[in-house]
Structure formats: C-alpha cells, structure tokens
C-alpha cells in the first residue's frame, strides 16, 4: 500500500478512504504535497487509518505534513471525539506531554550579538541543563510540586520568574484547568521534583536566532518582529514527569479497553470512553503534566533573560526580551467547534500538531484577537524556523490545527549510522552555527538531514490555508538537549 494508491484530493491533501482498514468510521486526510508525499511511511498511513476506527471520532482522522510514525497516533496526528460517544487516548497525546515551543523577541540586532555569541551560549549551557536525565537548578519539595502541577506557569511567576504579561502570551494562560495532582503517581513525582528548568534530550533545544525574512510586514510589526532581530526559541516539555504519567495511564487504558469492550486495530490506541473514570483520571493527570511543562519553559525563559542581561550588560528595558507566544504540541483539550452547523464540545487530540486559532477566537488574548494566534514551527538545528498565524480555514478543516515542526525522515539509529566518521558540530560551525550539546550522539541523531525540510512543510500548511507565514528565523547558536 504505497502513498501513490491513495486518492489525491488537491495539491496539498491526500485522502484515505474509509475502507482502508476494517472498522474505519470516518476517512483520513493527510496534508502533503507531491514532494513530501514521496517520503511518507506506509506505517504512518496505517496509523492515521487506525485512528479513524476509534469510537466517537468526528469528521476525519487528520495528519499534518510533518507526519511520521509514532506510538498509537502518528506524530502530526489530529483527531476530535464527541463528548457523548467519544474516547480519550493517551496515544493521541504522546509521552512528552505538552512538548511545546516558546519564542522570545528582543531589541537586539544580530550584528550586536554575534561577537558575544559563544560566550552567551556558554552561559546558557551552564544555566539551563540539557541531556538525558539532566536536572534543573530547582529542587521542589512535595508542596511546591503540587503547586506546579496545579498552577503551571503561574507558579513560576509567583516565584519571581517572568510576569503576568508572559502568561497572556502563553496558550491557556500557561495553566490548564482541571489538573488533579492527586492522580499523579509517586514515580512520576520522583522524576519531576528536580527537572524544572532543564531541556532534557532528543530534539529539545534552546536556540538563538535572527529574523531572516519577513513575509507579512503588518503582522510581523504586531508581533514585534523586525528584520535582523535576535530572537530566542525554547523547545522542551514535561520531561520524565510527563513520560511517566503517560506510561502509568497506558496500563490503565489497556485494562479499560477490556472492561468497556472496545475493539482496536492496534493496542497502542488504548483508550477509554470520555465519560468514564479512567478517561477523567487521565485528563486530570495529563493536565498536571501540561502545567509542569509550562512551568519548565517559564523557568528556562527566566534564566535565558538573566544570561542575556549578564553577557550583554543590559537591563531588562534595553534588552526588551519579551514573549511572542508559547504553543503546546502534545495535549488533548476540550474545545468548542462547529460541526454540521451546530456548536459541539469535542476532545481534540493534537499529537505533534499545533493549535492555530483564527482572528477573533474567544480563547485568544486581546493582543492577538486581530491577528489570529501565533504559530511557532521549529526546524532542525541547521535550517530555519517559522512564525505563522492561525486561520479560519484551519478552524473549519482541522479543528484549528497546523503542523508542529519538520518531522523526522531518519530514525535515530539510521542518523547515527550516516553520521559515522563525520563531525556534525564542525559541519554546523562551518555554516556559521555554533552548537553546544551534552554529547556527540545527540548531534548525530538530530543532524539536519534526519528531518524534512521545514520550508516544504510550512509551504504545505500555507498552501492548504491552515496558517499563513509571517517570518523566517535562522539559527545563530544552539544549546542542544
């Protein structure tokens, strides 16, 4: 079953008929052009089709152009489920709950920072721990961890990290309602008490960038972006805390499948009816993990600001390092959406996909009511990242969702094999990009050719009308997880 056998709906969409696998309740739709379609994994197609068999799924099983195989749902997968007959599936959220991206703007120009770049990266590397098992500078006792789970980024602000203005520029205000810390296991707590303020490993990073190209001058001005400007992008999530929450509830959901007689084509899609105790408990714990991730990114942002002020010898007003926005990737949210002419409450699962709400949406803060929601799409460490805006078409077609990144094309094992005998660090430096990493293996696993070209991915979501390009950001220096 190659991608060529699927029906192309238009230049940017491929359809999976509802007969592709037995039991499909709705069709599938993958947002891809001809170039990206050539590398589409057959197993990822199967995962999109399998999601379409889940009870209560509405309209279609969707996937963004950065699609690649994941656990249960394909990464890049989006699906919404009705409140009455739908399900909640941890595989539709993933292990790294609320892995997300935060973008900071500044008053600095690239030429001003370039002479201090290596020093700046060294300070950031010391201030923001990275790598497998890395621990942050904070050690949370039981009471403080409870507050992090309940309050998210609001906890960080209460500790003097950031401000209320930062919360306004964070999805969900940096705190998801309905978090229930009592549902989080001791093992998850043990993994989480020392990891606030750390990047972790894999594709996570802290990147100093410059605004290289502006596509929409008016929108860029409203977001505070200008040509040659220095920005900072933070990409990380809930670390081992969120991973453990997912692990714990996959076991619960596997039992729930048997209890409620749910027939699945893949055990990785383990789920429970939305109104069941198992689903409610998972959502309570997942929200606690999402809040942990927002607190984590908030702490990293705080130390990033301090590092810039120290190295550049500037106060906060002159530095002007303010948030543009913070988006979540791996979450399930209860949202209001129009379905066949009537408003419905749906559980929208976005796994490796970004919310992209349009202008005027009631959940957007006042500063972005006119523009629509900022969408932050990171590329690999050798190519660009993009700032986009959400659209009404995304709201109508994809539950207000768009892509979340470049998407892998090589497994980590294959990337290591191809990097053998090469110095990825030196290759990047030859291109003017300074990288600091906890280990050489991470650089090999995350080398640019391990990912799709982010420019192609972004062109697809713009061509499909799911989001519109505002600016392109190029890496100057990277602290790699």
Q: Please give the positions annotated as active site.
A: 404
End-to-end CA distance of the chain: 36
Report which of 169, 98, 168 is spatially closest to residue 349, judged by C-alpha positions.
Answer: 98
For the record, the structure tokens of 227 come out as: 């040509």
**Range list of H helices, 261-326:** 277-312, 316-319
Torsion angle (degrees, nearest 10) of CA 176, 181, 185, 188: 50
Given a contact cutoff of 8 angstroms between Cβ atoms, the answer to whether 266 and 50 are in contact is yes
Burial label for 135, CB within 10 Å (0-12, 13-18, 19+), is middle
Residue 397: C-alpha distances to residues 62, 312, 364, 393, 410 (Å): 9, 45, 19, 6, 29
Residue with tokens 């929108």: 219
Query: Is residue 123 packed enough to be buried (19+ CB in 10 Å), middle (13-18) or exposed (0-12)?
Result: middle
Distances (CA, A) of 469 to 115, 229, 320, 370, 461: 30, 17, 24, 16, 9
H or E segment to which residue 183 belongs: none
């Amino acid at each position: 079953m190659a991608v060529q056998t699927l029906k192309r709906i238009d230049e940017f969409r491929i359809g999976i008929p509802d007969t592709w696998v037995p039991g499909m309740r709705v069709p599938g739709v993958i947002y891809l052009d001809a170039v990206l379609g050539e590398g589409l994994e057959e197993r990822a197609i199967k995962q999109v089709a399998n999601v379409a068999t889940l009870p209560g799924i509405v309209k279609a099983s969707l996937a963004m152009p950065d699609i690649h195989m994941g656990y249960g749902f394909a990464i890049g997968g989006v699906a919404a489920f009705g409140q009455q007959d739908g399900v909640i599936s941890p595989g539709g959220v993933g292990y790294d709950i609320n892995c997300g991206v935060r973008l900071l703007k500044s008053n600095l120009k690239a030429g001003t920072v370039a002479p201090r770049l290596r020093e700046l990266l060294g300070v950031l590397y010391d201030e923001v721990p990275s790598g497998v098992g890395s621990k942050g500078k904070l050690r949370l006792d039981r009471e403080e961890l409870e507050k992090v789970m309940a309050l998210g980024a609001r906890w960080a602000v209460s500790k003097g990290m950031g401000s209320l203005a930062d919360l306004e520029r964070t999805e969900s205000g940096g705190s998801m309602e309905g978090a229930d810390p009592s549902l989080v296991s001791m093992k998850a707590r043990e993994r989480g008490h020392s990891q606030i303020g750390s990047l972790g490993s894999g594709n996570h990073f802290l990147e100093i960038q410059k605004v290289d190209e502006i596509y929409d001058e008016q929108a860029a001005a409203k977001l505070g972006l200008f040509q040659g400007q220095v920005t900072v992008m933070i990409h990380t999530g809930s670390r081992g805390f969120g991973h453990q929450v997912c692990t714990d509830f996959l076991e619960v959901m596997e039992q729930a499948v048997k209890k409620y007689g749910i027939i699945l084509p893949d055990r990785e899609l383990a789920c429970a009816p939305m109104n069941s105790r198992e689903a409610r408990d998972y959502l309570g714990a997942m929200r606690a993990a999402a809040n942990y991730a927002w607190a984590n990114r908030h702490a990293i942002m705080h130390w990033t600001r301090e590092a810039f002020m120290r190295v550049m010898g500037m106060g906060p007003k002159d530095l002007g390092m303010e948030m543009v926005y913070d988006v979540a990737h791996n979450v399930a949210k209860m949202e209001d959406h129009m379905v066949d002419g009537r408003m419905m409450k749906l559980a929208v699962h976005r796994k490796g996909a970004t919310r992209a709400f349009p202008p005027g949406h009631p959940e957007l803060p006042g500063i972005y009511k006119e523009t629509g929601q900022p969408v932050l799409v990171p590329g690999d460490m050798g190519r660009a990242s993009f700032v986009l805006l959400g659209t009404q078409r995304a709201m109508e077609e994809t539950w207000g969702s768009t892509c979340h990144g470049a998407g892998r094309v090589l497994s980590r094992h294959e990337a290591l094999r191809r990097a053998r005998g090469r110095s990825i660090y030196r290759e990047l430096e030859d291109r003017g990009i300074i990288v600091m990493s906890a280990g050489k293996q991470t650089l090999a696993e995350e080398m640019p050719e391990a990912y799709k070209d982010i420019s192609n991915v972004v062109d697809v979501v713009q061509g499909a009308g799911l989001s519109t390009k505002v600016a392109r950001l190029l890496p100057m220096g990277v602290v790699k997880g």
